[in-house]
Amino acid sequence: MTQTKRTATPAGGPVLGTRALNRATLARQLLLTRSPMSAKEAVEHLVGLQAQEVKPPYHALAARLEGFRPEELSGLLERREAVRIVTLRSTIHLHTPDDCMALRPLVQPVREREIGIFRKGLAGVDLERLAVLARAFVEEEPRTMKQLREMLGDEWPDADPQALAIAVRCTLPLVQVTPRGMWGRGAQVALTTAEHWLDRPTEPAPSPDTVVLRYLAAFGPASVKDLQTWSGLTRMRAVFERLRPRLLTFRDENGVELFDLPDAPRPDPDTPAPPRFLPEFDNLMLSHADRTRVIPPADRRSTWQANTFYCPLLVDGFLSGVWRIIGQDLVIEPFRELSRARRTEVLEEGARMLDTLYQGAVSYDVRFGTVREQGPQ
């Protein structure tokens, strides 16, 4: 793969422009060309998939993998070779079992800070006893959050029920059991512990050095703040300094220092980037403090209105529109006029995405139209 041309700056370190960062990140995110990786290999390489809802992990892999079919990921969940658990940024991610067991203790300090926000509602609650009671309850059989709140409310009737539920989620590594998360299988969220579901003991947190290197492999080149944004962890500068002899350093156009793996791909900025339909909250869009490598400044507020979040469309590697399935239509709303050739590419990619996920079971029309609600912003 062609390496980016670099020029030195007075501040020291070669400069990587926005397009160079865009192409490097897309390459590592498997979005320049579809990868032959298996679903499990991709989930591991990407250090998990954002999974607040059921469908996003499937859309994420449909955009990234050659030959992907939804049943492949559903099979991983059913065989407990993938799990859904709160990890990075206090949100639900889909991980391999190894990453589930490793990342959850690593980000435990973030969970503890979250508990602190709800201390007022937890007055008089013994958190150690709460963890013991909740563990026994969910390991007896998977429980819903409603059942957890009721059980804990019997023990601490004066505590805030929502605060009790959050304290359990932050204290115990709770996974969502199947059929939740499986393609085409509606199911409410039921929870048990990762140790019980995976039949594995708790493991020590991994070295943060390892996690930084994996982050750079999937999201780099990146700054210290980028890593902290992705993970929710703080005070990571010392880890980068420890790793500095093993890494390359660059600067972005604002002079921010970026770190990278020496052998990671950094394609030519003019490398073609095909259109891609991503799910809402895709980690590509959320895993950097400075998101201009993917999101043009003029469009940074274009994927949500009030409490509605829209799925992003990439054109030439950058956020360029939103999309949504409405009834039996895939409706695409570009932010700006597209050339005829680009429109054709977008329509073809949309049809491919639908064929990958639905395999002809439902007949969809792919068209341009309005996705976002119109009116005062």
Calculate the average pLDDT of the chain.
93
Tally: H helices and E strands in the chain: 15, 14
Can you tell me the mean pLDDT for 144-165? 93
Check pLDDT > 50 for residue 64: yes
Q: What is the pTM of this model?
A: 0.93
Q: Give pLDDT, residue 12.
A: 53
The pLDDT value recorded for residue 30 is 98
CB-based contacts of 359-364 (< 8 A; 24+ apart in sequence): 359/69, 362/328, 363/328, 364/325, 364/328, 364/329, 364/330
Report the pLDDT value the prediction gives residue 374, as an integer from 0 to 100. 67
Give the pLDDT confidence score for residue 360 in this predicted structure: 77
What pLDDT, in 10s, does the model give residues 314-356? 999 999 999 999 999 999 999 999 999 999 999 999 999 999 9
2 band by pLDDT with thresholds 50, 70 and 90: very low
Asked if the model's pLDDT at residue 36 lies above 50, the reply is: yes
User: Predicted confidence band at 362 (pLDDT cuts at 50, 70, 90)?
Assistant: confident
Range scoring the smallest mean pLDDT among 23-27, 32-36, 109-113: 109-113
pLDDT in tens, 73-120: 999 999 999 999 999 988 999 999 999 999 999 998 888 888 989 989
What are the pLDDT digits (tens) for 202-255?
A: 888 889 999 999 999 999 999 999 999 999 999 999 999 999 999 999 999 999
Does the structure show a pLDDT above 70 at 371? yes
Residue 65: closest CA among 324, 323, 356: 356
- pLDDT at residue 306, as a whole number: 73
pLDDT of residue 13: 81
Residue 376, pLDDT > 70, answer no
H or E element, residue 18: helix 18-28
Given 3-state DSSP classes, what are the helix, strand and coil percentages for the chain, each rounded to the nearest 5? 40, 15, 40
At 51, the pLDDT band (50, 70, 90 cuts) reads very high
pLDDT of 308 reads 84
Is 70 exceeded by the pLDDT of residue 5? no
Largest CA distance in the chain: 66
Strands 329-334 and 365-368: parallel
Check pLDDT > 70 for residue 4: no
In angstroms, rounded to a whole number, what is the distance separating the alpha carbons of residues 42 and 107? 22
> Exposed (0-12), middle (13-18) or buried (19+): which is 52, by Cβ within 10 Å?
middle
Torsion of CA 302, 303, 304, 309, to 10 degrees: 170
Position 361 scores a pLDDT of 76
